[in-house]
């Protein structure tokens, strides 16, 4: 059974600092990895996608993937209060149009 | 990015009634759409995979006779919750992808409350 694990938090970070969100997955065959942001009562919105080992940067966001350790992370630089949300890690084993497996999400709070 | 439209956004109904939720891909054709359910403070749980022109594939533990899925065209999938009960109250979200093994775009979700 595919599992995606995240620390539920809440993770509290001062405004302007770096927020670090972590995720581990159980399916070694996983090929696609995504980070979604979800505000309360809203549907998830895609923040980052990553497919190969290493770092991928997009603005204030950096996704990191280590397939050997089955670990993916999201760094948010210069955290803003508007970044306060639940961040969902999602994994797709690939090989077809398969639904994503989501972690329970980490609740991030950026303190002004 | 691609746009997925979902409605209604909120439904309040009496126990025993049926509720239909629509999901449309507005600017692309989606041969596959996915239906998720999310309870408060829980993760999204995949309910079923909706394939255009064929029967949906349901995840283990999801009753296919209770959650009817129809994917009659490349841009529309519907989820009907039949004989809804209070335990079916949840946030239902549809999604679609442009390509297999690619990122999902989500509809805005439907908050179902069954009294």
Tell me the pLDDT band of A1, cut-offs 50, 70 and 90. Answer: low
| pLDDT, tens digit (0-9, with 9 covering 90-100), for B59-86 | 999 999 999 998 888 889 999 999 999 9
- Asked if B43 and A105 come within 8 Å (Cβ–Cβ), the reply is yes
Percent of chain A at pLDDT > 70 equals: 94
A99 vs B contacts (CB less than 8 Å):
34, 36, 46, 49
Spatial distance between the Cα atoms of A70 and A6, rounded to a whole number of angstroms = 12
Average pLDDT for residues A6-30, to the nearest whole number? 94
Q: Can you tell me whether residue A106 is helix, strand or coil? A: strand
Enumerate residue ranges in chain B where pLDDT < 50: none
Report phi then psi at B21, rounded to 5. Answer: -120, 135
**CB-based contact A13:A19 (threshold 8 Å):** yes
Q: Which of B29, B44, B107 is the best substitution to test chain A (most A C-beta atoms within 10 A)?
A: B44
Among chain A residues, CA nearest to B111: A41
Say if residue A47's pLDDT is above 70: yes
With a CB cutoff of 8 Å and minimum separation 6, the contacts of B61 are: none
- Asked if B108 and A42 come within 8 Å (Cβ–Cβ), the reply is yes
B49 vs A contacts (CB less than 8 Å):
97-99
pLDDT given for residue A66 in this prediction: 97
The angle formed by the CA atoms of residues B49, A39 and B6, to the nearest 5 degrees, is: 40
pLDDT given for residue B101 in this prediction: 53
- Asked if A43 and B111 come within 8 Å (Cβ–Cβ), the reply is no
pLDDT given for residue B50 in this prediction: 87
Residue A88 has its nearest CB partner, among B43, B46, B107, at B43
Distance from CA of A96 to the nearest CA of B (A): 5
Place of tokens 């009562």: A41
Q: From edge to edge, which strands make up the β-sheet containing A4-5?
A: A4-5, A19-25, A71-76, A61-66, A54-58
Place of tokens 């992370």: A73
Spatial distance between the Cα atoms of A94 and A96, rounded to a whole number of angstroms = 5
Q: From edge to edge, which strands make up the β-sheet containing B76-81?
A: B4-7, B19-25, B76-81, B67-73
Q: What is the mean pLDDT of chain A?
A: 92
CA distance to B3, B48, B54, B66, per residue, from B58 (Å):
24, 4, 13, 11
CA A95 to chain centre: 22
B57 vs A contacts (CB less than 8 Å):
none
Q: Write out the DSSP string of A46-97.
A: EEEEE-SSEEEEETTEEEEEETTTTEEEEEESS--GGG-EEEEEEEE--SSS
Among chain A residues, CA nearest to B107: A43
């Amino acid at each position: 059974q595919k599992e995606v694990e995240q620390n539920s938090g809440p993770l509290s970070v001062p405004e302007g600092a770096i927020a670090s969100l972590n995720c581990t997955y159980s399916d070694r065959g996983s090929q696609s990895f995504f980070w979604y942001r979800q505000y309360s009562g809203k549907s998830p919105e895609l923040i980052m996608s990553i497919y190969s080992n290493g770092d991928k940067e997009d603005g204030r966001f950096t996704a990191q993937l280590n397939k050997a350790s089955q670990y993916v992370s999201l760094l948010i630089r210069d955290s803003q209060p508007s970044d306060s949300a639940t961040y969902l890690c999602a994994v797709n084993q690939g090989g077809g149009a398969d639904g994503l497996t989501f972690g329970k999400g980490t609740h991030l709070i950026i303190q002004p | 990015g691609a746009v997925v439209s979902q409605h209604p956004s909120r439904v309040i109904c009496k126990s025993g009634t049926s509720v239909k939720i629509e999901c449309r891909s507005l600017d692309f054709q989606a041969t596959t759409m996915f239906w998720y359910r999310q309870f408060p403070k829980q993760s999204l749980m995949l309910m079923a995979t909706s394939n255009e022109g064929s029967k949906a594939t349901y995840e283990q533990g999801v009753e296919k006779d209770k959650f009817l899925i129809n994917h009659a065209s490349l841009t529309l999938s519907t989820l009907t919750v039949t004989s809804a009960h209070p335990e079916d109250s949840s946030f239902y979200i549809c999604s679609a992808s442009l390509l297999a093994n690619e990122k999902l775009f989500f509809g805005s979700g439907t908050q179902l409350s069954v009294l």
